[in-house]
Structure 1
């Protein structure tokens, strides 16, 4: 049974997961704003090197060396390459993503010490960003059965109203042998037939409620990753305004950070 724990740093709360207890990591709350990863790394491991990217709601996953190469090619020294995931290559690398309703995903391999931080919103989930990150782990020697995945606070499915078209675009990522000619209604119907469906009914025509974390869980299951390797935080950014920023709730461009340090 995976458990989640509230920790404090200088009186400020952040969340950790027992699944990742071997690694310095944290899902930080709005109370840490406006601190950046360069400051937040002091909570986890002050000597670690910090890596982040310019998040663009895509499915690109980079390594620190790729980030450094792209940054050095930029016109400005601090320009960040566009991506939504980072997979470590060496020890003492702190990788970070920010979110404000989208799902922050931290991944670790106990055998290699390698870690990743992924920003999985609905667009990234539709284009399977977490499986993209898993593929990078496998390419560097990881085994599927060793990977541990924690999905942090995000907007919960029961309050995340989206259009049928958005839901079908995301849901198509977990339907086998999807025909491009299948329309949104066909995909929605197929998704609603799934056990523990990621879709919930909505009273407004043309709308449904979408559980993005559940879709990511199903993508992982299809890869062969067991539920015991996955933990999902029992916290909703939208419904907990005292702890988390929520773009859907407040329409403000404020974020909280999540990070993990490689071993």
Structure 2
């Protein structure tokens, strides 16, 4: 069953539980799963999307390392009897019928697919990973595998909204300088001022001194556009993890270390 939200996003149901899909990724089995599926693992969720697929994930560390499914498999096979996962924050497929996964609560999950090669990637982009240009690193790996930017489709899943995400100004500057030309030669005040002047600004005033509100999904969107990804091929989910407690976990809201998973299967 599908429940249309707008022309790009739909709610799907499985055994009465909801997960989100994006029509930009209609070529692939995928889903941004809600807290209703907790504590199912990617291995379980892959079976919901498509049987007979192998799930790949990493131990997320808020960095910018993008690993292939083969690199993950090699790491686990090298004497890792406990099947501990390698550090990383994005997974890109090597072959067909591989599902790649990331977990999030307030951080930004992104799913990317190449409509020609069928290759896919799942990205965990918190503010730290965003400040380290993890999306750029993921796009670079697509290009290394022969992708063309015009063939990439990007869905940015539910995350904490900029209107409620209070951060220190220093955090906003660290993240924001990735989308300000010549930021290394500019003062903090100049960077903040330029961020506020951007169309659909990712930064908002806060009532507390030294604080601002930061829209991390929007920063990732701008980063993609600066990489010459067509804006028509980028979609941001209209849902906030902090504000929509009935469907989504939020660490900022509850302090609980619970996550929802987002995954996509290569073709």
**Once the two structures are superposed, what CA deviation does each residue of 1:18-74 show, in whole Å capped at 9, x if it has no partner?**
110110000000000000011111111111111000000000000011111122225
**Distance change >3 Å, CA 70–CA 144, structure 1 → 2:** same
**How far apart, CA to CA, are the structure 2 residues paired with 1:35 and 1:26?**
14
Give the equivalent residue in structure 2 for 1:260. 264
Give the equivalent residue in structure 2 for 1:178. 183
**How far apart, CA to CA, are the structure 1 residues paired with 2:194 and 2:142?**
31
The answer as to whether partners of 1:117 and 1:259 remain within 8 angstroms in 2 is: yes
**How far apart, CA to CA, are the structure 2 residues paired with 1:229 and 1:194?**
20
Residue 125 of structure 2 is aligned to residue 120 of structure 1 = yes
Give the equivalent residue in structure 1 for 2:208. 204
SS of match in other structure, 2:159: coil
User: What stretches of structure 1 move > 3 A for 4+ residues in a row?
Assistant: 74-77
Residue 241 of structure 1: which of 232, 245, 253 is its match? 245
Gaps of 5+ in 2: 1-5
Give the equivalent residue in structure 1 for 2:112. 107
Give the equivalent residue in structure 2 for 1:30. 35
**How far apart, CA to CA, are the structure 2 residues paired with 1:150 and 1:49?**
22
**How far apart, CA to CA, are the structure 2 residues paired with 1:137 and 1:2?**
27
**Distance change >3 Å, CA 109–CA 126, structure 1 → 2:** same
Q: CA deviation at 1:144?
A: 0.5
Q: CA deviation at 1:79?
A: 1.0
TM-score (structure 1 length as normaliser): 0.97
Residue 143 of structure 1: which of 137, 142, 148 is its match? 148
Residue 223 of structure 2: which of 219, 222, 226 is its match? 219
Report the RMSD for the aligned CA atoms in angstroms.
1.1
